Amino acid sequence: MQLHPESMKEFKKRILPCVFRHWSDADVVLVSERLVSSIHAIMATTAGVIVVSSCSGDVINDRHWLATYFVIWYGVPYMTYDIFAMYLSHYHRFRVKGHEDYKQHSLRTVNSFIRREFLLVLHHIALLTILLPVTLFFRKDQGDFFIGCLFLTELSTPFVSLGKILIQLSLQDCWPHKANGGMVLFTFFMCRIALFPYMYWMYGRHYGIPLYSVPFHLSLATNLGNSCILAPQVYWFVLLCRKGYRLYKRSRTPEPSPAVTVTDNSKDD
């Protein structure tokens, strides 16, 4: 029996309030979104490992069916769902805070969400409008290895989600939260930033050219596409480092720090 993300979300929305009755709708929606994101990230990472390991012999011509089918049957539905889930989390967060415009859904609330989460919305739309056509139509049945590498970028998502859930449970000062923060930085850097030089190096190794020559061997559109994917990852990594540094400084001060707002919905991945 196949359980779709939307049904899993509804299940968690019914269960979580029974377990944590003091949580608001914003808290339940936030945790539900994070849990679904983690499940999808685990599936994407697993698919990526399978594709990369199967196609590492010939990174250009080796094929694996998951490279295409995962994008069609899981990637696209999830990205579409996640935009809606982020909007719901945004809506309930501001509704709990008592904003007058958030008494009901409207074009004003949608516009506010897009303005506040513009980079994330743009990231999701770009994946739907660029990655999908490239995967299905413009690769000429080549490069499954690199599609698998892009799946691996989701490895950091479960750690980011776990950090949010630990804050939700008021465990932000315990050692698991600090250890998880280290894993967030490590996995984010390795799978969302260092991964791109690695893909260029694998491409260069296939054609017998040095790493510094690979950008000149690729088309301008390919380099621009990779840059557009990499740029927000670098931006988010800098934000993660700054946040980690602030938490480190706060942990070194003797004064008790105020509790972090549990309904903060800023996505660092």
For residue 29, being part of any structural domain is answered with yes
List the structure tokens of 125. Answer: 């739309």
Compute the distance between CA of residue 196 and CA of residue 152 in angstroms, rounded to an integer. Answer: 11
Asked whether residue 263 is domain-assigned, the answer is no
Q: Count up the domains in the chain and report the number.
A: 1
Domain contains 74? yes
> Is 13 contained in some domain?
no
CB 29 within 8 A of CB 13: yes
Which residue in this structure is represented by tokens 């303005």?
A: 115
Task: Examine residue 266 and state whether it is found in any structural domain, yes or no.
Answer: no
Would you give per-residue pLDDT tens digits along the chain (269 residues)?
444 555 555 555 565 555 556 677 778 888 888 999 999 999 999 999 999 999 999 999 999 999 999 988 988 899 999 999 999 989 988 888 878 788 889 999 999 999 999 988 988 898 888 877 877 778 888 999 999 999 999 999 999 999 988 888 878 888 888 899 999 999 999 999 999 999 999 999 999 999 999 999 999 988 998 998 899 999 999 999 998 888 778 777 765 544 444 444 444 44
In a domain, 42, yes or no: yes
> Domain residues for 152?
21-252
Q: Give the count of beta carbons closer than 10 Å to the beta carbon of residue 131.
A: 18
Which H or E run contains 55?
helix 25-55
| Residue 267 in domain | no
Terminal alpha carbon distance of the chain: 30
3: phi then psi, degrees, rounded to nearest 5: -105, 115
CA angle 166, 267, 152 (to 5 degrees): 95
- Cβ-based neighbours of 244, under 8 Å, separated by 6 or more: 181, 185
In a domain, 193, yes or no: yes
**Three-state helix/strand/coil letters over 139-166:** CCCCCHHHHHHHHHHHHHHHHHHHHHHH
Cβ–Cβ < 8 Å for 23, 17: yes
